[in-house]
Structure 1
Amino acid sequence: MSRLLTEDFLLTNDIARQLYHDYAKDLPIIDFHNHLPPDDIAKNHSFKTITDIWLEGDHYKWRLMRANGIDEHYITGEASKREKFQAWAETVPHTLGNPLFHWTQMELKNYFGIDDVLSPETAENIWNETNDALQSEQMTTQQLLLNSRVEFVGTTDDPTDTLEHHKAMSDQGVPIKVAPSFRPDKGLNIDQPEFSDWVQTLSETTSRDLSSYMQFLEALSDRIEHFDVHGCKAADHGIGKMFFADATEEQAKAIYAKRMNHQPLTAMEVEQFKTYTMRYLAACYHEKGWVMQLHIGALRNNNTKMFERIGRDAGYDSLGDALLAEPLSRLLDAIEYKDSLPKTILYCLNPRDNYILATMAGNFQGGGIPGKVQFGTAWWFNDHIDGMEEQMKILANVGLIKHFIGMLTDSRSFLSFSRHEYFRRILCNLFGNWAEKGKVPADVDWLATYVKDISYGNARRYFNLYV
């Protein structure tokens, strides 16, 4: 099979090539939202095999392997690591058009210097080459981040987390800034069976009696303070169905008490609790100068049989189609009305909602902050060429792409930073095509200011990173 990746991969004209090679290629990376395990970074973990670093926990790959007819035994089952790698090698030649085809080859080339396309025929050599390379001191977690020019990592952490690994990294003087991000989904999802157990864990973590709602809010505030001390820059909320139902403090107290007494809640009560709690949290974020991220629209755990067998985040999530414009508007409006709206990033999983979020962001700009409310980058099922281009075109059509904060990996893999290169190539090619077609001036120096800001500078300023 012919070589895929060249110096000019995805760059289709001279301006695109100049923008990428002269301005974007060597910029540092700010990965402000991902799911990297902090303990692996703190311990400077190394990986024994390519399966360990590449396939474990990667539900993107798992979905495609299932679609290719691979038995679950070779995906999340008890097959050997070599057999699991072979199963992925058998799948890759069938992935044309999917970003994983590109990402797979970019990661092999960028981290291992391998140009061969992964296939059943090349699997044995690639297995041996990658595993040999992983024994190098250049392949520990911290060194992988450094070699990828990663400057900042925002992990995703439950409020009850001790953050001991973040503290250890700070104490060790790890040369990459790794900050926690506050993810309180379990504290808002009062309708979920695990809510009571999570409240008990929060009680133990804060050494507080949480029998009342106000004590519950105080405990969340305690954890926000704890995260802030450990360098937190952002909160993150996974919202399947957007909500808004106004509630008084007394109503929120009564709903919490009802749930803690194991009484069923109505759908309206669930929304009221979420709304009041969300407004409280947003005000806390605003006070701390944090960024609030809203990831909206995932329909999770669709396959009950496999959920019971494997658990969450196993590749059985997809796009939801619940309406979000009105409840999102009312929530942001209620927070803004009290002068407590933090910098906010809006991500949607259903591309049907792209224009909704792009125009919604424009309703709540201000405060002297360029791009205070962001239409976030193409997320999850949309982080392919078409999805990234569409997101940026829509943002440019109805907002200011100049202040866009760009790409993130949203990944659990230490090899995923090639996605920033992928994004930067797509961005430069988009601008190069606009210039070639006469849609924008063919002024490379001027276009380069956009490229540098979107690739790096805007995120650095937005998250107040001066590392």
Structure 2
Amino acid sequence: MTMTWTLHPDRALPADPTTRPIAREIYQAVAGLPVVSMHGHVPVEWFAQDTAFSDPADLLVVPDHYLIRMLVSQGATLPELGIPALDGSAPAETDPRQIWRRFCAGWRHFRGTPTRFWIETELVEIFGVTERPGPDTADAIYDRIAAVMAEESFRPRALLDRFRIETIATTDPAWATLDDHATLREQGWGDRIRPTWRPDPVLAVDSPTFAADVQRLGQAAGIDPTSYAAYLDALRAQRERFKRAGALATDHGPFLADTTPMDAADAAALWDRAMRGASVSTAERDAFTAHMLFQLATMAADDHLVMQLHPGVCRGHASAQTARFGADRGYDIPVAVEFTEALRPVLDAFGHHPGFRMIAFTIDEDTFSRELAPLAGAYPSLRVGAPWWFLDAPDAMRRFREAVTETAGFANVSGFVDDTRAFCSIPARHDLARRVDAGYLARLVAEHRLDLDEAIDTATDLAYRLPVQAYAAQ
């Protein structure tokens, strides 16, 4: 007889019998709090158009690079998972049911990963699936999900209520027209669905598309970037457009965390060379990026948009695969990163500025206790971002709490911030973070380092109040 697939109510809570009941009480106090999703990658078009999703594979498999990379590591190809080659040399699988079958056949590979937690939570709690994924159950699960997706209540905007998402931020390119966000604001959704400005391509002077990207920025801003000074004006103007459209933050993913400014004349000369298509070295690229991060911090101190910084990723590590299939295919790999000296220029200038806020994220967890927690524990303008990407797993999140709390406390962190294109995983990701935090706080209660009411209050901070405060306009 086949057993009905259910999820244990205490999953991811401590196994220790002393702390588990305490953790359960803390978790139950925060489980139903609203979700604040301030670093999302869900396309704004989904909300503006509010149309039905196409199929289970396109919703749950194709956009999830966590899922894709694991299946590829076990022999699947990107085209088999619905991702075509950019040059047309390898067409993508067009049958979503086949993509879904490949995912279900690889379900066993997700054991022990956070992806397993997120997806099983989605399948059971959102779609009502009662059978564990596998080759024999793939079609039945596909049909169940497709039936739920066909319901009017499964449109993107309706899911915001179902997922208890109070605020969600999209990530938008530097040259975004923001037309979809304007539509949403006109329809009363502007305070709930907000843009975030991502200018990385228009800082990358070594990119072959740099000049074209800067021209797109200028066109969106209404300023012809004929000079370095005009380029800075276009950046300011576009930031202001984003702010008027409801943006609360900007998003920056440089390779290094360096924020050292260049001599202005040298920066202008390098910009001119890059705009003419001249060769730019890696060292010059890094120096210009550091310079521009300082310039953008200066702008942030003026316009109060929160500056999210997440360096330390080698993007597109598989060069041939990235060239063939594009970015964000699971080949972004962490590297070691230094923050103490790198952030000194910005923190010297703006670390105590009342209008400046930086949230620094990392996937180099060695830096949490050694650098980021001590920095955030001293500078009022800096917060330590939540563990994410390769660190939003139960054990890594526990390590984060242990590494950061003793130096920075709880108030100097961002609270939980998810980072995903997989829309349906957002409530599951927040639920896992709340469970892990409940377990950590339960240990403090069991060790008589916190009272229970303090632990519940802190759990509420981490799940809800701190994200609201971290991204609030100052």
TM-score, normalised with respect to structure 1: 0.92
Equivalent runs, 1:128-167 vs 2, <5 Å: 128-167=143-182
Which residue number corresponds to residue 347 of structure 2?
Answer: 333
From 358, 380, 400, the counterpart of 1:344: 358
Q: After the TM superposition, which residues 37-436 of structure 1 pair with which residues of structure 2 at under 5 Å, given as runs?
A: 37-75=43-81, 76=83, 77-174=92-189, 177-321=192-336, 323-336=337-350, 339=353, 342-362=356-376, 364-366=378-380, 372-417=381-426, 418-436=428-446
Structure 2 regions of 5+ residues with no counterpart? Answer: 15-19, 84-91
Paired residue type of 2:460: K
Name 1:15's counterpart in structure 2.
22
Q: Secondary structure at the match of 1:125?
A: helix
Q: 1:181 to 1:213 in 2, by over 3 A?
A: same
Alpha-carbon distance in 2 for matches of 1:340, 1:214: 27
Percent identity between the two aligned chains: 25
Question: What residue identity is the alignment partner of 2:414?
Answer: I
Q: Tell me how far 1:334 sits from its aligned partner.
A: 4.5
Q: Deviations over 1:305-346 (max 9, x none)?
A: 21122101011111123x423542333334327948721111
Partner Cα distance (2:270, 2:348) in 1:
20
Q: Distance in 2 between matches of 1:355 and 1:419?
A: 24
Offset of 1:198 from its aligned partner?
0.5
Counterpart of 1:455 (choices 450, 454, 463) is 463
Amino acid at match of 2:461: D
Structure-2 change in CA distance of 1:326 and 1:463 (3 Å): closer
Partner deviation per Cα, 1:46-100 (whole Å, 9 max, x = no partner): 1132112101221111111112222333212224100100111011122211111
What is the alpha-carbon distance in structure 1 between the residues aligned to residue 449 and residue 5 of structure 2? 33
Query: 2:88 is matched with which residue?
Result: none
The separation in 2 between residues aligned to 1:51 and 1:146, in whole angstroms, is: 23
**1:289 Cα deviation after fit:** 1.8
Amino acid of the residue matched to residue 390 of structure 1? R
Quick one: which amino acid aligns to residue 46 of structure 1?
A
CA contact (8 A) 1:41 1:141 kept: yes
Instruction: Supply the distance in 2 between the matched residues of 1:253 and 1:60 (Cα, whole angstroms).
Output: 40
State the alpha-carbon separation in 2 of the partners of residues 237 and 275 from structure 1.
11
For structure 1, which runs of at least 5 residues remain unmatched after alignment? Answer: 367-371
Q: Distance in 2 between matches of 1:304 and 1:214?
A: 35
Aligned length: 457
Q: Name the SS of the counterpart of 2:309 in structure 1.
A: strand
Match for residue 86 of structure 2?
none
1:245 deviates by: 4.2
Residues 182, 234 of structure 1: 8 Å contact kept: yes
Q: Report the Cα offset of residue 206 of structure 1.
A: 2.7
Residues 374 and 389 from structure 1, CA distance in 2 versus in 1: closer, same or farther, beyond 3 angstroms? Answer: same
Between 342-351 and 145-154, the greater mean CA deviation after superposition = 342-351
Measured after TM superposition, the shift of residue 250 of structure 1 is 1.5
Which deviations, in whole Å up to 9, do the C-alpha atoms of 1:90-140 show, x marking residues without a partner? 111222111111111101122112243211122121111110111111111
Could you tell me which amino acid in structure 1 is paired with residue 424 of structure 2? Answer: L
| Residue number in structure 2 paired with 1:369 | none
CA contact (8 A) 1:405 1:455 kept: no
Judging changes above 3 Å, is the alpha-carbon distance between structure 1 residues 340 and 18 closer, same or farther for their aligned structure 2 residues?
closer
**Structure 2 contact 257–290 (Cα < 8 Å) conserved:** no
Tell me the TM-score normalised to structure 2 length.
Answer: 0.91
What is the aligned counterpart of 1:444 among 446, 449, 452?
452
Question: Counterpart amino acid of 2:99?
Answer: K
**Residues 340-381 of structure 1: per-residue CA shift (max 9 Å, x gap):** 872111111222322244335336523xxxxx4111111201
